[in-house]
């Protein structure tokens, strides 16, 4: 998937690294993919990570689908816990002492 971003007029001059890290908050692993695969272009040209981006520049980011596999999340058995409170952002439950809070394996 390719994203093209026109850098706005009021944008301060910064390096590609600073823009991806500080302005777009792109995580380190994703920045690594972008850098090693040369999937960052400015005005249609491959760039150096320390190149400066200025207002009016066209920033292109390409993300390869195989780098972001879709993961399935197995759901637990809700009958095993006692829900004390739940809203849009938070759930509080009583759970058995031996039950993992964040299970990372099927066993």
- The residue whose two tokens read 């302005």 is 23
Q: Which residue has the higher pLDDT, 72 or 43?
A: 43
pLDDT at position 103 is 64
pLDDT at position 107 is 56
User: Is the pLDDT score of 64 beyond 70?
Assistant: yes
Q: Which residue has the higher pLDDT, 80 or 62?
A: 62
pLDDT at position 98 is 79
pLDDT in tens, 67-96: 887 877 677 777 888 889 999 999 898 888
Query: Residue 23 has what DSSP assignment?
Result: I
C-beta of residue 85 within 8 angstroms of C-beta of residue 33: no
pLDDT at position 40 is 94
């Amino acid at each position: 998937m390719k994203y093209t971003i026109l850098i706005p007029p009021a944008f301060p001059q910064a390096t590609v690294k600073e823009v991806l890290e500080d302005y777009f908050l792109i995580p380190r692993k994703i920045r690594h993919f972008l850098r090693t695969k040369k999937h960052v272009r400015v005005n249609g040209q491959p760039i150096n990570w320390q190149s400066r981006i200025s207002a009016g520049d066209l920033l292109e980011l390409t993300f390869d689908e195989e780098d972001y596999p879709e993961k399935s999340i197995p759901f637990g058995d809700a009958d095993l816990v006692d829900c004390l409170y739940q809203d849009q952002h938070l759930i509080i439950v009583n759970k058995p002492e031996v039950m993992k809070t964040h299970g990372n394996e099927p066993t």
